[in-house]
Amino acid sequence: MRRAPATALPGPDPVVRHDWETLRSLLPYVWAYKGRVLFALACLIGAKAANVTVPVVFKLLIDGLALTPGQAVIVVPAALLLAYGVLRFSTSLLTELREIVFARVTQQAVQRIALQVFRHLHALSLRFHLERQTGGLTRDIERGTRSIGSLISYTLYSILPTLVEIGLVIGILLMQYDAVFALITLATLTAYITFTVWVTNWRTALRRHANELDSAASARAIDSLLNFETVKYFNNEEYEAHRYDEQLDKWIQAQLKNQYSLSGLNIGQAAIIALGVTAMMWQAATRVASGEMTIGDIVLVNAFLIQLYIPLNFLGVIYRELRQALTDIERMFGLMHENKEIADATDALALPPGPASIRFEAVGFSYDPQRRILSGVDFEIPAGRTVAVVGHSGSGKSTLGRLLFRFYEVQEGAIRVNGHDVRALTQASLRAAIGIVPQDTVLFNDTLFYNIQYGRPDAGRDAVEAAARAAQLDDFIARLPQGFETRVGERGLKLSGGEKQRVAIARALLKNPPILIFDEATSALDSKTEKAIQAQLEQAAEGRTTLVIAHRLSTVMNASEILVLDQGRIVERGTHAGLLARNGEYARMWTLQQQEAAQEPERA
Ligand SMILES: Nc1ncnc2c1ncn2[C@@H]1O[C@H](COP(=O)(O)OP(=O)(O)OP(=O)(O)O)[C@@H](O)[C@H]1O
Ligand SMILES: [Mg+2]
């Protein structure tokens, strides 16, 4: 069971290089608190020096007592005893001081990194976020930040102190005694560390396998319970139990292997230490016998060894945790290296506030190169006017809004606001000028008030209430027991589709921007509410540059221009009356919708 498989060691080089890079990228965050770091290091060295001096004093004590049998020389041992106590105490004192001083460094480094990653994630493109699973992202950040804490504490509280201690002990051994003692210590430590790292690398794979089997077993149990009814329909309880048991069997095998390998690791470590200690004691004993060394010396050497090997006991665990922490941090920093697809040009202008005209100039666009979404889209919305876009589902209407908002860059042509290419404007100023009521509204899991106020976080209560009224939300809110303070649930799921849409309208109105985009802003409303809100929207659009996207043609009749989009091309354009007169696609859609409306009894 304990034999290592041939695949034991992963190539150390690339791994080690990665680890160093990760550590290096972490350094600036810690080094920002230079004073504290240096102080903590001083405490660390002080504590270890005190710790190493304890056995030395102990040796002097023993030698002092041994050399003066019968004679009552009380002074020497008393001073030494005092020193002994002080040294022991200062070891603990300095260790605690170090923790007190350093705790803040760790926490603040974690805070700064978490914040930076969070900012960066918000700066990444919509494309990135659509492709990633949000749950996975937050887990990466959470694990990464937690690992920074453990990495710093393992390094600072375990590895570095042990290294300092090894250095001090070997130094003392070299200065005081024959070089053979330092050599034996060094050889034992090298053997111990190599063995531990090697076995731990192998065990990591074992542990991962055991964890995977564990997850698989619980996934099987959950899936089986989720299918409770199906299991009953087919009388398959025994079959399910058998399948679960099979999975548990595999997991137990892996667990046992894991346990055996741990014991193997411990036995091997103990053997190496025993060998080292025996060799040292052998050397010391022969020298005591020949009079080269005192009894105190042999006690000192023994104490050193024990002091060194105790921290080493945790080496396996610490090494494994350290590797895990480095992997997690690397993943998190990987997010930081994710490029921003949309970035401000270095000489980007801020769009001046005030009325804005919009021009799409022969715009061509595709989300992925294989499939074209828009071609040669060319239109203008003069400042203060309304242009409507209609067309079949998937024809590219919402894409127009996304491009104007600069969630994506156009591949051909240009989009201009007041004559400026949107690529030459700062994203912040461009987006501040645009209010969007999106096709699908997602709300924050907070109160109605919070969600409406989100349109302009510094807006007062009156402004929020006015916006709610304009969006026909006031009756609904008045009926709620908690009114504006009602919580809307995760993503707003406790509201109906129409209510969510009205919240979105309210917050866009509250933002009060010169440009408005309504993407099917009233599609989820019944015709009565839609009519009521339509008036409000038209009033809101007055004096603003507005792009309206709609399925229901009756809502866009008054637009100054209507574009009919088909497979990413404008196939017809004109006013409502003009398009009807043309008797083309628009006229067909209009007739169809009029018939439907006549057949359907008016919805309440
Ligand atoms: N992020 C994306 N990646 C790849 N393809 C996309 C992406 N978003 C949209 N599409 C595709 O682009 C096409 C146009 O989408 P768009 O949302 O603009 O359609 P639409 O005209 O608004 O349709 P609807 O009336 O159903 O809202 C669709 O076929 C859609 O599948
Ligand atoms: Mg759409």
pLDDT digits (tens, 9 = 90+) for 399-457: 999 999 999 999 999 999 999 999 999 999 999 999 998 888 888 888 999 999 998 88
Tell how far the Cα of 393 is from the centroid of ligand 1, in angstroms: 8
Q: Which of 397, 439, 547, 567 to mutate to test the pocket of ligand 1 (most atoms within 8 A of CB)?
A: 397
Most trustworthy range by pLDDT among 156-165, 260-269, 321-330: 260-269
Pairing of strands 374-381, 358-365: antiparallel
| Domains in the chain: boundaries | 16-177, 344-433+545-604
pLDDT digits (tens, 9 = 90+) for 367-389: 988 999 999 999 999 988 999 99
Q: How high does pLDDT run on average in the chain?
A: 84
Cα of 484 from ligand 2 centre, angstroms: 30
Question: Which of 131, 399, 517 gets mutated to test ligand 1 (max ligand atoms within 8 A of its CB)?
Answer: 399
Domain 16-177 carries which CATH code?
Answer: 1.20.1560.10
Among candidate residues 296, 308, 423, 311, the one with its CA nearest the CA of residue 361: 423
What is the per-residue pLDDT across 103-118, written as a single tens digit (0 to 9) for each?
Answer: 888 888 888 888 888 8
Mention every residue, 6+ apart, whose C-beta is less than 8 A from residue 350: 425, 426, 428, 429
Q: Name which residue sits closest to atom 10 of ligand 1, judged by CA.
A: 367
Contact yes or no for 406/422 (Cβ under 8 A): yes
Total Cβ atoms within 10 A of residue 547: 26
How deeply is 135 buried, as exposed, middle or buried, from its count of CB atoms within 10 A (0-12, 13-18, 19+)? Answer: exposed
Rg (CA), the chain: 37
pLDDT at 12: 41
Q: Give 298's Cβ-side CA count (13 Å radius).
A: 17
Q: Is 439 in the pocket of ligand 1 (CB under 6 A)?
A: yes
CA–CA–CA angle 586, 361, 428 (5° rounding): 110
Angle between helices 315-337 and 75-123 (to 10 degrees): 30
Kindly tell me if the per-residue pLDDT of 11 is higher than 70: no
Candidates 321, 331, 332; CA nearest to 153 is: 321
Q: Which amino acid is at 535?
A: A
Q: How many residues does the chain have?
A: 604
Give the residue, by CA position, lying nearest to ligand 1 atom 6: 367
The confidence score (pLDDT) of residue 221 equals 86
Residue 43 Cα to chain centre, angstroms: 33
* Residue 560, phi then psi, degrees to nearest 5: -75, -25
How do residues 61-102 score in pLDDT, each as one tens digit?
Answer: 887 776 555 555 555 677 888 888 888 898 889 888 888 888
Q: Is 367 near ligand 1, meaning CB less than 6 Å away?
A: yes
* Mean pLDDT, residues 320-342 taken together: 80
Q: What is the model's pLDDT at position 301?
A: 85
- Residue 601 confidence class, pLDDT cut points 50, 70, 90: low
3.30.565.10, 3.40.50.300, 3.40.50.80, 2.40.10.220: which CATH number matches 344-433+545-604?
A: 3.40.50.300
Could you tell which of 395, 564, 567 is best to mutate to test the pocket of ligand 1, judged by most ligand atoms within 8 Å of the CB? 395
Residue 32 and residue 215: Cα distance in Å, rounded? 41
pLDDT for 414 equals: 93
At 71 the pLDDT is: 58
370 lines ligand 1 (CB under 6 A): no
Answer yes or no: is pLDDT of 166 > 90.
no
Question: pLDDT value at position 374?
Answer: 92
pLDDT band at 2 (very low <50, low <70, confident <90, very high): very low
User: Residue 481 carries which side chain, given as an amino acid letter?
Assistant: P
Residue 412: its pLDDT value, please?
92
Quick check: 9 pLDDT over 50? no
Burial class (CB in 10 A: 0-12, 13-18, 19+), 467: buried
pLDDT by residue (tens digit) across 185-207? 889 989 998 998 899 888 888 87
Atom of ligand 1 nearest to the CA of 568: 14
pLDDT at 15 over 70: no
Tell me which of 297 and 137 has the higher pLDDT: 297
d(CA 220, CA 217): 5
Q: Which one, of 540, 358, 531, 520, lies nearest residue 437 by Cα? A: 520
* Least confident among 188-192, 248-252, 340-344: 340-344
Give the pLDDT mean for 215-233. 85
The rounded percent of the chain whose pLDDT value lies above 70 is 94
Two structure tokens written together for 166: 């090894």
Is pTM beyond 0.85 here?
Answer: no
Q: Is ligand 1 within 6 A of the CB of residue 396? A: yes
Stronger pLDDT, 294 or 529, i.e. the higher one? 294
User: Over 80: is that where the pLDDT of 238 sits?
Assistant: yes
Rounded to whole angstroms, how far apart are CA atoms 287 and 298? 9
Distances (CA, A) of 273 to 61, 184, 191, 277, 394: 27, 11, 9, 6, 71
The CB-side HSE value for 566 (13 A sphere, CA atoms) comes to 8
pLDDT at 13: 46
28: number of Cβ within 10 Å: 10
Return the pLDDT at 66. Answer: 67
Residues 459-477 have pLDDT tens digits of 889 999 999 988 888 888 8
